[in-house]
Every structure is written in C-alpha cells, then in structure tokens.
Structure 1
Amino acid sequence: MHVWYPTHFSDLEGASLPIVLGSVNFDTCLAQVRNGDFGLTGGTDNQGRPVSNISLATAITYDLCVVACGSGSEPFVWNIFSQQFSAWLLPYLALVSQLPFGANNRLDNLLSMLLTVGSPTLAAYSLALTVLNEQWIAQRFSALSYPNVRNAVKVLTGLQQSPLHVNADDSLLASLVVLHANDNYWETLEDLLNYVQTWSIAAVASILWVIIAYVFTVIDSFLGVVTYSTLNSNGQAVGSIFLWLLPIVVGWLQISPKCDHERVHQAVERANKIAYVASPFLPNARSTSAKAPATVHRDEHCTAPIYNYARFLPWSLSVENVYYAFREASERSQSYEPVDSGLEWEKGVKGDRNMRVHPRNRTGSLSQVSDYVKIKAAEFELNLKPRSRWGPGVVSRFLLAALLALSLTWGTTGAAVLVAFFTPTKGIACRSGSYLIYGVNSTLVWMLLVASSLLAHYSTFTVSFKGRYMHTKATRLAAVLSIILRRLGKTLAALNSIWVILVCLFQFGSVFDRCWCNSSVPYWGKHAYNVIDVTSSDVEALNAPWIGGVALASGCAILFIGFVNVLINPALPD
C-alpha cells in the first residue's frame, strides 16, 4: 500500500508531486516515472546521463528517487531472508564452532570467538605465527645432538598455547637438560602433550557445507537470472567476506594446538613429579601451580590459540634459554667433557640413539651441572653483544606472519568490496562501505592487540640498581598503555563481529534496498542516481569484477592453506 500526500518539488518543472511513504517498490516507481507522473526530468540511463525522453529512463536521480519511491526500504520478505540466511551465512556461523578454544572458562572462549570473527587479521596472524614458530624451533635445534633434544623441541612446540617462562639461571633447567635421570621427564611430558584434535564428522561436514555454499553462490551469480531485486541481495559478497574462516579452521585442525587448559596443566603436573634436581638427586614432588596472571599479562595466560600473538615474545625467549642450555651441553659432550670434571669420559652405547652420551658423563653436583650449561668464559668475552631481550628472529617471523594475515583479510574482504562496488549503481555505498569498515576494523584490532603485546613484554624489562632489579617509569607506563590498548582492541573486535553479522542480515532483509544505498550517494554525491532497470550489458559488465572477486578471495584462501601445509610438521633434530 502507498500513502500519497501532495507536495511541491521545485526542481522537477514545478509540478505538484506526491511523496510515497511506506514500503518501496522500485519497479513500480520506475514505471510511474516513465509515465511522466513525476515530471519529465530526473530520468537517466545506467551511466547516470540524462535521457531526452523520460519514457526511456532505466535509472533515476537520487532526488527523484526519494520523491517517487520514498526514503524507506523495500519490504522485508521472510521467505527470501530465510533462504539467503541459511544458504550464505549459516554455514559460516556453524564453522565458527569448529575453532579451537580450550580456555578454562566459557567467557574466555566467547571472547576468543568474538576476537576471531571481529578480527580475521588477528586470527590469521596467530595461526601464521604458530606455524612459523614450529619451523623456527626445529631449525634452531637442528645442529644439536645432546640427548632429549628431539623431545624438547616437541614439548616447546606444544606449549605455544601456554604461558611459558624459563629462567636461564634456574638450576632446575640445567638439571632437566643434563641429568640422565630426567630422560623420563622429557619422554613423559612429550607423550602427555602428544594428543591430536581429530577431524570430527561435524568439522568435516561444516567445511564441506561452506565450500559447497560458496560454489553454489558463484554458480548462481553467473547462471542465475539477474533482476533488480536479486542483484543487490546476491550472496557472493557475503560468501567472500567470510571465506577467510575456511583456511583458519582447516589450519588449526591440521596443527592440532595443545590448548586444552586442564589437559596441559595435568600433563605438566605429572611430569614435574618425576623431575630430578642435581644433588641430592631427590624427586621434585612439589606442585608447580602457576600464579594468578597479572592484569597486563592476562591474554598470555589464556590458552585459546588466537592469543598466541600475546605469547610470541615470551615464548621465543623461553625457547632461547632452553636452546642455549642444550647447545652448551651438546658442545661439551662433543668435546668429550663429562659433567664431573674429575671423571674420565665414558663412551656411549653404539646403536642406541639415547645412549650416545653415557649416563656417567651426565652426573655431577649441582654446581657442576649448572656450570655445564653456562657459556664458556672465552666465548662470552668474544661475544660482546648482550643477548636480546626480544628473542632471536622475531622481526622476520612477525613481518611474514603480518603479510600473510593482511593478505588473507584483504583478499577476502577486498573481494566482497569489489563485487559490491561494481554492482549497479557502482560505487562506495551501504554494502561495499560496510564491508570496507569491517576490513579496516579487523586490521585496527590486530594493530592494537599486537602493540599491546609489545608493550606488555617491554613492561617486564628491569634495570639493576644497587644489586636489585627494578622497573623504570617507562616500563610502568608501558604496562598501563598495554592494558588500555588491549581492552580497546577487544571492545572494537566484539563490536566488529556484531557489525558484520548485522550487515549480512541487513542485506538479506532488504534494509539496504533504499534510495540512499542503491544510488551510491557517498560515492557520487549530488550526481547520485539509482539504476533500476538492469540491462544485459550491465550484467555482462559484472562478469569481470565478479570473476576477479572469486579469484581474489579463493586464491588468497588457497595460498594461506598452502603456506600452512608447506611449513607444518618440519623435520625434527635427531
């Protein structure tokens, strides 16, 4: 139903024109414009050029659109909404449930889900870092030949989802590396952490559902009958903007992160009970339960894999501390130096990989064990540069992970923007602008949270003053800024996840089917016009951007999956 009220619109030859209130039907509006019901001006072709005869108009100016059709949207049709929602959006929402969570409370799991949907950049960055860290640690330890090196690499790789801190000056680290009695510790911990998150039927079904839905979207875009109503509600843009979720879920399923908080905690507890410390060689039966995390390091203590961005720097430093201990022990064993300098070097057992260094060469007092893994004085004097407090190789891994994350984000988001931009009337409008906002916010969340993690790590730096280690004003300020940026980033991520869902619902519910959106007013300004009668030439012109969008989104997703498969499961040291 339309309600008509008389008014005057001076720009249209001074004719007395009715304003339409209520639901909008653009086909009806165009027919009335062609009949001259709203004057003889305001009609254009599909490039926005005025037509000489109003009866030939296939588009109308934005001003005439508001007068003839009203400022509202087309009516909500439940059948269309439910069909499009279940076909294009529901598969992706179901796939979100296959993400690895594993936090010790439901709120942290919910926050990790909001972070993933709100910032695919952050999700892809944490996943890429995890793969690069696995490759890096395998290469880092590859030249070492001391017993338990292989198990140590597996354990440290599996603890990427845990708040790992290793004190290089702790006698326990030296004992774990050197003592033959601790071989069982490494084997037990590696075995307990060697569980795999299987490809469940639900996960495979969700992945196949997404792939089939996207393929059907693409086929329907090119083979379906294109009309004005189906052109703007096409699901190709929605399918592209969520396509990043597919390589993220597949990647985590392949990596199988050790993110089950309770399981990892129990594994470490059981291994700690059989750990030995040099002299008096008694089992360390004390529980090493973690302290409550400080506010500035809260994300570091959350075991959901998306928080690997917060553990990147402290994990790298901890790995480096363990590496130096194994390196020194390996070099001394290759020089045939036993832990107890008062003993002769005992040859290992041939054919036994774990007995290449005889157990007698790996026994000694607490001071001997600690000295065995310390850097030699001569080497320390030659190496004048102090060890970095940021960790080795972090810049290259950060840059590569950032490049991969941004490529996946803007490959899928850019494809959605591209499809919406060239859909008549082309330009930045409600749909393309909404997708663009989602991509910008995703990148901004990543920048805020990565900056927060850098500041949190810097806040741990101390200076020596009169024999005491103290924090400076700069480190205390960094801690405060880290908390602020972290909370701001998480809030923006939650809002962005809600935003992208609403954008999809608005598109399927015809909320964007209104004069302002369909006329691309932000792009064309006062020259804005609304294409209503889509011609065959318009449809043919869409082939190039639609093919480009499909190639861009699917290509970036495939490349990201390929990157994960190339670097995953690197060769471990023997």
Structure 2
Amino acid sequence: MSFIQQLSRPPRLSFKDNSFYLLDTMVLTTLLLPFMLFHFVDAATNFTQCLFDVRSSIYGPYAGVDNTGMRVPDILRATAIPYVVCVEKCGSAPEPFAWSIFGQEFSAWLLPYLALLSQLPFGAQDKWDNLLAVFLAVGSPTLAAYSVTITVLNGRWISRLFSTYSYPNAQHATRILSSLQQSPLRVNLDGFLLSSLVVLPENDDWWSELVVWLNFTYTWSISAVASIAWVVIAYVFTIVDSFTDDVATTVETNGQAVGSIWLWLIPVVVSWLQISPKCDSVRVKQALERANMIAYVASYDHNVIPAAMVNSQRAIYLCSDRDHRLYIDQHISAPVYNYARIFSWTTAVQKVAMCFSNATRHVEFFEPVNPEATWVLGDRHLRIHPENRWGSSVQVETYCISESNDGRLPHGSAIWTRILMASVAALSLQWGTAGAAILDVMLTPTTGLGCRSGAYLIYATTSTLVWMMLVLSSILGHYAEESTHKHPLRPYIQPYKVHFATWFSVLLRRVGKTLAFCNAIWIVMTCIFQFTGFFSRCFCNSSVIGRGAAKAYDVIQFLAPDIVDMKMAWVGGLVLATGSAVLFILFINLMIIPSQS
C-alpha cells in the first residue's frame, strides 16, 4: 500500500450528533454505486485498440485526426479519432471499470471531504434537520459560505454599534445578541419589559448570568484538527502524485478537478471553528429560560418586582411559532440557516440598541430615570449609581423607548451592505473553486466543454441558483411578516401583495432546498462516475457538448506538448482554487472582532 493510500485512511472521528450515522450510510451507499454501474455495463470500449485499428487503415485513410482535430496526411500519425467514427467503430460504452484505480482515486480525492462534513456545526434537536443541513451545505456551497460571512459581518456590526453606548450591560448585550444568531430571536416592545431589562440595576444579573450560560463553544478539537489536517495533507500529496505520475494513462480518472470542486469545504469549516457559533438549540433555550426566571420589571408605584409575577411574557425570547410556514428555517439552529434569520435578528438587535442608545443619551445629560430625582454621582468603580436607574414603569419606558420607532429596520442597520459583502465573498469562493475544476477539465485534451466540465458547471450554477432563491425567500418572508404586523387587529386580512409574497417565499424555499438536495447527490455521483471511468466514452472524451458532433474528436494518444499545456492548466487551476480558499479565510479573519471570536 502506497503512502498516499495510507494517508487517505480517515482518522477516528468523534461525531457530536447521532444523525451522522445517516451520513455514514449515505457514504457507504455511494461506495456501492461503482459495483452497481459495473454490473449494468454490458460492453466496454478499448480506445487503445480502436486507435490501433484506425492506424491499420481498417476504417479507411481518413478515419484518424491529430490532437487539434485536423486530418493527418499519414494515417499512421493519427493520435485522435473523430467523434462520429469513434461511436460507429469503437462503440459508445465506457472503458472497463478498474477497482484499483477507483479505490486509490476515491480514497485520495473524495473520501477526506466526505469525512470533513462531520465537522460542520449543527445542533438542531431533530436529526433529520441536521442531515438536511449537510445536504444544503453540499448542495449549495454558495449558501454555506454566505451564511458564514453574514454571521461574521453581523458580529462585527453589532460590536461597533454597541461600542458607542456607555450604559451598563451594553457589552454584555453585544455578546448575548451575537450568540443568538442561530436562534429565532425576538424582542418584545410591548409594555415596559425591555426598558426594565435595560434600566433596572436588579437586571444586571440577568445580563451577566446569561453571558455565562451562553459561554459554551463549538471550536477547535482534536478530531476537528485531525480531520482538517488529514484533508490538507492528502490534498497536497495527491496533487504531487498527479503531476509526477504518468498523466497520459490516468487523465480520465484523475481527481485534480474533484479536489478543486470540494475545496470550499476547508475554509467554511475553519471559519465556523473560529466563529464558534452557539447552535445547540437545547442549551440556548435553557440558558434564556433560566435567565428570564431572574428578570425584574418596574411597577407603577416605583417598586421592582419579578417579571414572573406579572405574566409569562419576556423582553427577549425565542419565537415558538415553529409551525408558521414563514418561520420554519429560522427554528433550525444549524448555522447554514442563518440566511433565514438575518432580518429578524437585525430587527431584534435594533430594538435593544434603541433602548441602550436612548438611555446613554439621558446619562450624558445626567438625567435620572425619575425626572423628579436628583442625579447621584458615581465613582471610578460605579460610573452610574443605581439611584439614577430607578423609577416607575412609565418613567422607565419613557427613558428608553422612542415613539418614532415602529419596529421596522432603520437606515442605520447597514443590512444591505452586509448582504452585499457576504454575497461577493460567497460567490468568489464558489466560483473560484468550481471555476478551477471546470478549467482543469476543459483545458485537458480533448479541450472544450464536455461531460465532466459540464457536470461541474451544472453543480456550481445550481449552487448559485439555490443561494439566490433562499436569500430572496428570506427577503420576501421579511416583507410579508412586517406587512402583517401593520394589521395587528386583523391579522387574517392581508393585502394581495402580502399573500403573494408569503406564497412565493415558501415556494422559493421549498424549491431551493429540493434543488440543493438533488445537487448534493449530483456532485457525489459525478465524482463517483469520474473515478469509475463512466465518463471515459466517446461522447464525453470528444467534448461533444462544446464542439458539436461534427467537429468533436477523441484524443487518445497524448503528445509532449499536450502534457505540458495540460500541466500548466492544472497549475493555473490549483492557484485559482487555493487562492480563493485562502482569500476567503483571510477575509473572515479580518472581519472577526477579537472579543467575539
């Protein structure tokens, strides 16, 4: 057994969720596909023998061409066969399946990435939701990279926003709200719940304790480091092997393009490990419920009473309307679904920020909550004295809530800027890695768009389409939700635009997730087909899709200039793919706020 094959053996992983047994089943099923395909193929094509027959003039003096598709003056100099001749004389079946080639290429190029999927963050209670998150990430790397980037940009935005507030617990609020990006966060502006939570000194424990209870991490572990290191080292050594082996004999099953098409997974996993999202839905829910048990509210007679003595409503809570068709994805705590929570999370943050902003403004003018009281100076240990933070429920609410706020996103949210930046970063990673794979295959003789490059192009295009559909679905869902809230007394009576937005949002989400599921299966099957030699047939080898049947030809014998040009193309693809991955990681590290990382 070669060193590469030993290296390609997956390390022992400690999966954090039993749903990965389903993932293992999917991987094992794909391993059986080559054998299934092998048994269904009744005939196999021997292209070397076919070229020998062409040179023997069995099919006439014009049955062969050179590697540019031009007719050769001497049939003995033929190195390629026109597509029409290839199908008629050589047959339309692929080359015979070779287990030795499949086993080595599959274990070196694809298996490490399938194992690395286990290091993606999940955390949903439903195992099926976790498995669907795997298919969603694999089916749309664009969406996976977009969710990573939007999470980092959200953390950077909220840190810079709350850094301007000097009221107590502002920094705690930053960490708490940033940690709740993976949850269906809601903020209640009705009454004086939020104002009491921000103003009253009795609620200082609420903020500090919740920070502690949310201080669990999904971060670096031995299994995560081993998985990433395994993929990177295997990738490096297999690339070296691909350039040193006899590429002319293994070009049809070479995994250079496969390594590039899956390379997006490394920066996405590394980025999530750095961000450490709080995606354990059970622990997040328990932490918030535990904190809300020690929340206090102001009363009309200037007293402070536990919120539990008033009613069951709380200022900051998690949406429980899981069955509502607009909120389904918001309840799945896997971070790949952060695209669905961007608007609701930003709205909730803005409501809390409004309270801290108004309270900070009053403090700057030494105005206590109770306008009839006198400002009590603090000291170096206690900048704002608790005496300045007590008042009646009406005074507390007036101190924090601005009447001009109607619950909609203000212009200062910068949400569209964050969406644009996340979109550019995600598309750059997707098309940098997929583009490298497409170019690797297209510039390998026979050059042009063929089965392999076409399959990769379909994968990248579908990935982008899924991302567009799901992001648009979240925009329409936010519009429908905000429009519905304008009719609180008659929520069942909605304008036709809201009805259409709701219906179209749900449709886009369902179609997009279905396409992602199919696209994930598509890319795994494509890689399997590549290693089994399924694409090594006249139609695929001749690049008929790009050249057309009349001008297509199958290069069978590679010449020295062909190998030089092919290796140069591979080097270019390698630089493009690895460069895109490295730049994405650098961008994420530049955007991460150190205190939030």
Q: TM above 0.5, one fold?
A: yes
Work out whether 1:305 is the aligned partner of 2:322. Answer: no
Distance 1:142 1:135 in 2: 11
Contact kept? 2:186, 2:319, Cα under 8 Å: no
1:493 equivalenced with 2:520 (yes/no): no
Partner of 1:10: none
**Distance in structure 1 (CA, Å) of the matches to 2:497 and 2:364:** 44
Task: Say how many residue pairs are matched.
Answer: 542
Q: Which amino acid aligns with 1:172?
A: L
Deviation at 1:139, TM superposition (A): 0.9
The answer to whether residue 360 in structure 2 is matched with residue 330 in structure 1 is yes
Of 533, 540, 548, the match for 1:517? 540
Letter in 1 for 2:470: L
Cα deviation 1:50-106 (Å, max 9, x = unaligned):
011111100110111112211000011112111111110000000001000001101
Question: CA–CA distance in 1 between the matches of 2:368 and 2:58?
Answer: 101
* CA contact 2:142–2:427 (8 Å) conserved in 1: yes
Q: Is the contact between residue 192 and residue 267 of structure 1 (CA under 8 Å) also seen in structure 2?
A: yes
Deviation at 1:282? Answer: 2.1
Does structure 2 conserve the Cα–Cα contact (< 8 Å) formed by 1:237 and 1:415? yes
- Following superposition, the deviation at residue 218 of structure 1 comes to 2.1
Counterpart mapping for 1:118-517 below 5 A: 118-227=139-248, 229-279=249-299, 280-285=303-308, 286=312, 290-293=319-322, 294-350=324-380, 352=381, 355-375=382-402, 388=409, 392-460=413-481, 461-462=483-484, 471-517=494-540
Question: Which segment drifts farther, 237-246 or 187-196?
Answer: 187-196
Residues 389, 530 of structure 1: alpha-carbon distance in 2 compared, 3 angstrom cutoff = same
SS in 2 for 1:104: coil
- The alpha-carbon deviation at position 291 of structure 1 amounts to 2.3
Q: Does the 8 Å contact 2:350/2:409 carry over to 1?
A: no
Please tell me the residue identity of whatever aligns with 2:254: N
Q: Which runs of 5+ in 2 are unaligned?
A: 1-41
Contact 1:221–1:236 (CA under 8 A) maintained in structure 2: yes
Contact residue 210 and residue 287 of structure 2 kept, 8 A: yes
1:112 to 113, 133, 158: 133
User: Counterparts of 1:137 and 1:389 in 2: how far apart (Å)?
Assistant: 14
Residue 545 of structure 1 aligns with an amino acid whose one-letter code is A
Question: Do the aligned residues in 2 keep the contact of 1:33 with 1:68 (CA within 8 Å)?
Answer: no
* SS of alignment partner, residue 296 of structure 1: coil
Deviation at 1:570, TM superposition (A): 4.4
Distance 1:170 1:535, change over 3 A: farther
Structure 2: how far apart are the matches of 1:169 and 1:324?
14
Residues 92, 539 of structure 2: 8 Å contact kept: yes
Letter of the 1:283 counterpart = P
Work out the CA distance in 2 between the residues paired with 1:345 and 1:570.
36
Farther-moved stretch of structure 1 (201-210 vs 251-260) = 201-210
User: In 1, are the aligned partners of 2:159 and 2:593 still within 8 Å (CA)?
Assistant: no
> Secondary structure of the equivalent of 1:513?
coil
Distance 1:107 1:320 in 2: 33
**Secondary structure at the residue paired with 1:30?**
helix
Distance 1:466 1:212, change over 3 A: closer
Cα distance in 1 for residues equivalent to 2:243 and 2:44: 30
Cα RMSD (Å) = 1.9
Please say which structure displays the higher CA radius of gyration.
1
Distance 1:168 1:559, change over 3 A: same
In structure 2, give the amino acid aligned to 1:361: N
What does residue 582 of structure 2 align with? 558
CA distance in 1, matches of 2:412, 2:166: 23
Closer, same or farther in 2 for the Cα pair 1:79/1:278, shift >3 Å? Answer: same
Q: Secondary structure in 1 aligned to 2:510?
A: helix
Residue identity opposite 2:291 in structure 1: A
CA offset at residue 523 of structure 1? 1.2
- SS of equivalent to 2:62: coil
Contact 1:232 1:423 in 2 (8 A): no
Alpha-carbon displacement from aligned partner over 1:8-48 (angstroms, at most 9, x marks no partner):
xxxxxxxxxxxxx8211111111111111222112011011
| Partners of 2:321 and 2:327 within 8 A in 1 | no
Shift of 1:217: 2.8
Q: Distance in 2 between matches of 1:179 and 1:444?
A: 48
Deviation (angstroms), 1:413 = 0.2
Q: 1:386 to 1:130 in 2, by over 3 A?
A: closer
Name the SS for the 1:91 alignment partner: helix
CA deviation profile, 1:398-457 (whole Å, cap 9, x unmatched)? 110000000000000000000000111011000000000000000000011011111111
Instruction: Report which stretch shifted further, 463-472 or 429-438.
Output: 463-472
Change in 2 beyond 3 A, CA 1:564/1:524: same
Q: Distance in 1 between matches of 2:293 and 2:69?
A: 77
Counterparts in 2 of 1:495 and 1:398: CA distance versus 1, 3 Å:
same
Q: Counterparts of 1:92 and 1:315 in 2: how far apart (Å)?
A: 32
**SS across alignment from 1:40:** coil
2:593 is aligned, of 564, 569, 573, to: 569
CA distance in 2, matches of 1:325, 1:561: 35
State the TM-score, normalizing by the size of structure 1: 0.91
Question: 3-state SS of the aligned residue for 2:341?
Answer: helix
Change (3 A) 1:474 1:233: same
Change in 2 beyond 3 A, CA 1:387/1:500? closer
Q: Map Cα deviations across residues 334-376 of structure 1 (whole Å, 9 max, x no partner).
A: 11111111211111121x2xx211011101111110000123x
Distance 1:230 1:329, change over 3 A: same
Query: What is the alpha-carbon distance in structure 2 between the residues aligned to residue 471 and residue 311 of structure 1?
Result: 23
Contact 1:43/1:51, CA 8 A, preserved across alignment: yes
